[in-house]
């Protein structure tokens, strides 16, 4: 069987083109969209991601400010900055980078981001809005999975989708987005009995656990669609997904590549969220 590659480059380009046009329209009124990136770590991967977001913002006509709080920042320090930014009318969107300093959990600080500026949907309020179907910003990675599937004509309505991973960042919000598309969703995790038996019964398998090569041929039925959210760094610095691509290729009808699949769509959607937040505030 030929396995179609569910690439994200074309979709990301289309989203960015729309975002850039909308950002230019806002800038024409004298108020370009403004994103605040709050960083409290010295993690190299986080630094690389912040730089990529800076570049994406610049390409799309979005003003982006990096706010470095340092690795010694306390939960109180981070909350205070997020409250300040939430109240600042010149800031349209806020993103809090992870990892956070030792002893500080995302749940300790994310409630300080108001939902109107929470463009990556990390706060409990944003997740609650998503779960209840009310307007808000979903986590961009979860949204990217759905948008990528729809872009490539992958049917979701009435289909059985197995999501491997139950994090608040991807797995749980993705389940809510898939339910909104009328999919039947099974969320799998480390305590799932007979993971291959569950996933191989699904029409679509989404891998989002952060374990390189976890999903193998035995986890996928013939002709299923596999979407890989994983980004794992190898010893040689290469990035690999949660799916053993070589093992699945030829059995799956379609597979998203890593890199080049969900990732570029995620970044594009984040930029779109920033512009939407700015439009909502005007």
Q: Return the pLDDT at 45.
A: 83
pLDDT digits (tens, 9 = 90+) for 105-114: 999 999 999 9
pLDDT of residue 235: 82
Q: Establish if 86 belongs to a structural domain.
A: yes
Calculate mean pLDDT across residues 41-66. 94
Asked if residue 178 and residue 103 are part of one domain, the reply reads no
105 lies in the same domain as 187: no
* Other CB atoms within 10 A of residue 106 CB: 16
Q: Residue 270: pLDDT band by 50, 70, 90 thresholds? A: very high
With 0-12 CB in 10 A as exposed, 13-18 as middle and 19+ as buried, what is 72? exposed
Does residue 278 sit within a domain? no
Domain co-membership, 151 together with 109:
no
Task: Give the C-alpha separation, 274 to 16, whole Å.
Answer: 12
Given a cut of 90, whether residue 234 has pLDDT beyond it is: no
Question: Total structural domains in the chain?
Answer: 2
Range of the domain at 82: 32-116
How high is the pLDDT of residue 44?
A: 87
Same domain, yes or no, for 83 and 165?
no
8-state DSSP, 143: H
pLDDT band at 121 (very low <50, low <70, confident <90, very high): very high
Residue 207 lies in a domain: yes
Q: Assess whether 165 and 215 both reside in one domain.
A: yes
90 and 144: one domain? no
Residue 61 lies in a domain: yes
Q: Does residue 247 lie within any of the structural domains?
A: yes
**C-alpha count within 13 angstroms, C-beta hemisphere, residue 2:** 3
In a domain, 63, yes or no: yes
- Burial classification of residue 158, based on how many CB atoms lie within 10 Å of its CB (0-12 exposed, 13-18 middle, 19 or more buried): exposed
Together in a domain, 163 and 109:
no
pLDDT in tens, 242-258: 999 999 999 999 999 99
- Which CATH number do you get for residue 236? 3.40.50.720
Please report which confidence band the pLDDT of residue 233 belongs to, taking 50, 70 and 90 as the band edges: confident
- The pTM of the full predicted model, rounded to 2 decimals, is 0.96
Contacts (Cβ under 8 Å, ≥6 apart) of 68? 39, 40
Q: Give me the CATH number covering residue 58.
A: 3.40.50.10860
What letters, b where the CB count within 10 A reaches 16 and e where it falls short, cover 166-204? bbbbbbbbbbbbbeebebebbbbeeebeebeebbbebbb
Residue 129 lies in a domain: no
- Average pLDDT of every residue of the chain: 97
Residues 163 and 213 in one domain: yes
Residues 111 and 179 in one domain: no
244 in any annotated domain? yes
Q: Which residues are annotated as a binding site for NADP(+)?
A: 165-167, 231
Query: Binding site membership: which residues?
Result: 165-167, 231
Distance CA 269, CA 135 (A): 16
- Residues 187 and 229 reside in one and the same domain: yes
Residues 156, 230: Cα–Cα separation, whole Å: 21
pLDDT at 158: 98
Q: What is the CA radius of gyration of the chain?
A: 19
pLDDT at 23 over 90: yes
What is residue 102's predicted lDDT score, i.e. its pLDDT? 95
pLDDT at 282: 86
Rounded CA gap, 268 and 130, in Å? 20
Does residue 58 sit in the same domain as residue 101? yes
Residues 170 and 259 in one domain: yes
Q: What is the mean pLDDT of residues 143-150?
A: 98
């Amino acid at each position: 069987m030929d396995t179609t590659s569910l690439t994200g480059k074309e979709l990301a380009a289309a989203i960015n083109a729309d975002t850039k046009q909308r950002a230019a329209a806002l800038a024409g009124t004298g108020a370009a969209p403004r994103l605040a990136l709050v960083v409290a770590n010295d993690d190299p991967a986080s630094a690389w991601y912040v730089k990529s977001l800076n570049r994406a913002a610049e390409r799309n006509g979005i003003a982006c400010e990096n706010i470095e709080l340092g690795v010694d920042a306390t939960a109180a320090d981070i909350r205070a900055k997020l409250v300040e930014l939430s109240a600042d009318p010149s800031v349209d969107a806020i993103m809090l980078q992870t990892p956070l300093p030792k002893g500080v959990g995302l749940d300790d600080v994310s409630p300080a981001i108001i939902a109107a500026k929470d463009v990556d949907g990390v706060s409990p309020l944003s997740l609650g809005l998503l779960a209840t179907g009310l307007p808000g910003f979903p986590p961009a990675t979860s949204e990217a999975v759905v948008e990528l599937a729809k872009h490539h004509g992958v049917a979701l309505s009435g289909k059985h989708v197995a999501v491997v991973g139950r994090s608040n960042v991807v797995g749980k919000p993705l389940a809510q987005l898939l339910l909104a598309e009328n999919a039947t969703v099974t969320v799998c995790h480390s305590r799932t009995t007979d993971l291959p038996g569950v996933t191989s019964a699904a029409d679509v398998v989404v891998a989002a656990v952060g374990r390189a090569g976890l999903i193998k041929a035995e986890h996928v039925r013939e002709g299923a669609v596999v979407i890989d959210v994983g980004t794992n760094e190898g010893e040689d610095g290469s990035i690999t997904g949660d799916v053993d691509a070589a093992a699945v290729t030829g059995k799956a009808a379609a597979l998203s590549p890593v890199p080049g699949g969900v990732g570029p769509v995620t970044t594009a959607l984040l930029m779109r969220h920033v512009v939407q937040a700015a439009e909502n505030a005007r």
